[in-house]
Amino acid sequence: MVEENIGSIEPDFSLKGKLAIITGASMGIGKEIARAFAAAGAEIIVTARTESKLIELKEEVEKDGGKCHFLVNDITNINQIQDLADFIREKLSEEEKDLVLVNNAGFGFTKPVLEVTQEDFDLITSTHLRGTFFCCQKIGEIMLERGYGKIINLGSTWGYTTDAKKAPYCMAKAGIAHMSRAISTEWAPNGIRINTLAPTGTVTEFTQKTWESMPERAKGILSRIKLGRFAYPSDHLGAAIFLASSASDFITGQTIYVDGGFTAAG
Ligand SMILES: NC(=O)c1ccc[n+]([C@@H]2O[C@H](COP(=O)([O-])OP(=O)(O)OC[C@H]3O[C@@H](n4cnc5c(N)ncnc54)[C@H](OP(=O)(O)O)[C@@H]3O)[C@@H](O)[C@H]2O)c1
């Protein structure tokens, strides 16, 4: 077990000496978390399905003096999750580091219940539930061997409250938060901390297009965000760094909502 920083009045938010894996880092929130983790001192491994965007990110991080590896990886494929775990072991054999895993890869859609197909349902569950679970299992196994690790799963305010046309997504994100709580109880004795970071509506390439095509819906969501604006990926970085760093070492099984007051309003 890593020595804990008990009694210090200076919480340590640095990510130096950590190897952080961020899934779905080719764009959006995951990309910004990856850049922020590298800036905070972590060596990073970024994954997604689009190689060109991962190469761009690696170049960007390394230009700023960071250390970045990438692996093209689809989290709906369990064999590829095992490949990611093998890749991490290979990197750890070069240098011992504490592990941080951010299960960020995901997507959403807005559809009335009667229009949801089996294919839609399977993709939502194989990405968010099965993908997140097996990333926790395969990479968590390496953390367990080492007696320390931090897992951050991306939830959503739709895992707490709901809206029309979001049933499969709400179900998946509620599942991620509850799964994280359940794993936290099993792995806390072994030094693994696992929490959920739950954003509200966040401006990305994808959401921007969606909200432009559904202005009434965007207005409805915005009216529930009491700080009066949508989030940006940068709004999530403080919570992500906190949960990855030793400053949060006594926190596990929690969901942190980064939501401008959305869930407080119900
Ligand atoms: N934006 C929001 O309003 C919002 C709100 C609450 C929660 N979230 C959650 O936050 C996370 C990031 O969302 P975002 O808005 O940043 O999404 P985004 O901009 O669409 O990016 C999603 C990322 O996930 C990757 N990805 C998707 N499916 C994948 C798969 N099967 N295997 C590997 N990588 C995959 C994508 O890359 P490739 O396509 O290259 O694979 C991309 O890098 C998601 O879990 C989302 O549900 C988002």
Q: What is the pLDDT of residues 132-163, one digit of tens each?
A: 999 999 999 999 999 999 999 999 999 999 99
6 — pLDDT class (breaks 50, 70, 90): confident
Please identify, by atom number, the ligand 1 atom nearest to the C-alpha of residue 31: 43
CA dihedral of residues 71, 73, 75, 79 (deg, nearest 10): -100
Over range 109-118, report the average pLDDT.
98
Residue to substitute in 22, 23, 29, 166 for testing ligand 1 pocket (most ligand atoms within 8 angstroms of CB)? 29
Q: What mean pLDDT, rounded, does the chain reach? A: 97
The owner of tokens 């097996």 is 134
Over range 215-242, report the average pLDDT.
97
Please identify, by atom number, the ligand 1 atom nearest to the C-alpha of residue 27: 43
Predicted confidence (pLDDT) at residue 220 exceeds the cutoff of 90: yes
Over range 192-200, report the average pLDDT.
98
pLDDT in tens, 28-52: 999 999 999 999 999 999 999 999 9
CB within 6 Å of ligand 1 — which residues?
23-30, 48-50, 53, 73-76, 104-108, 127, 154, 156, 199, 201-202, 204, 206-207
Predicted confidence (pLDDT) at residue 232 exceeds the cutoff of 70: yes
* Ligand 1 centroid from CA 46, angstroms: 13
Nearest one of 107, 101, 99 to 76, comparing CA atoms: 107
3 — pLDDT class (breaks 50, 70, 90): low
> Of all protein residues, whose CA lies closest to atom 7 belonging to ligand 1?
156
Nearest one of 265, 206, 254 to 31, comparing CA atoms: 206
Q: Percentage of the chain surpassing pLDDT 90? A: 96
> What does the alpha-carbon distance between residue 10 and residue 189 come to, in Å, rounded to a whole number?
25
* Ligand 1 centroid from CA 107, angstroms: 5
The kind and range of the H/E element at 232 are none
For residue 7, what pLDDT is reported? 85
Residue to substitute in 78, 204, 208 for testing ligand 1 pocket (most ligand atoms within 8 angstroms of CB)? 204
> What does the alpha-carbon distance between residue 20 and residue 68 come to, in Å, rounded to a whole number?
10
* Ligand 1 centroid from CA 172, angstroms: 13
pLDDT in tens, 54-98: 999 999 999 999 999 999 999 999 999 999 999 999 999 999 999
> Of all protein residues, whose CA lies closest to atom 42 belonging to ligand 1?
24
CATH architecture of 18-257: 3-Layer(aba) Sandwich (3.40)
Please identify, by atom number, the ligand 1 atom nearest to the C-alpha of residue 205: 19
Over range 154-174, report the average pLDDT.
98
DSSP-assigned beta bridge partners for residue 75: none
* Residue 79: both structure tokens together: 């064999």
pTM greater than 0.85: yes
Least confident of 3-7, 11-15, 161-165, 177-181: 3-7
- 257 among known catalytic residues: no
Predicted confidence (pLDDT) at residue 5 exceeds the cutoff of 90: no
For residue 156, what pLDDT is reported? 98
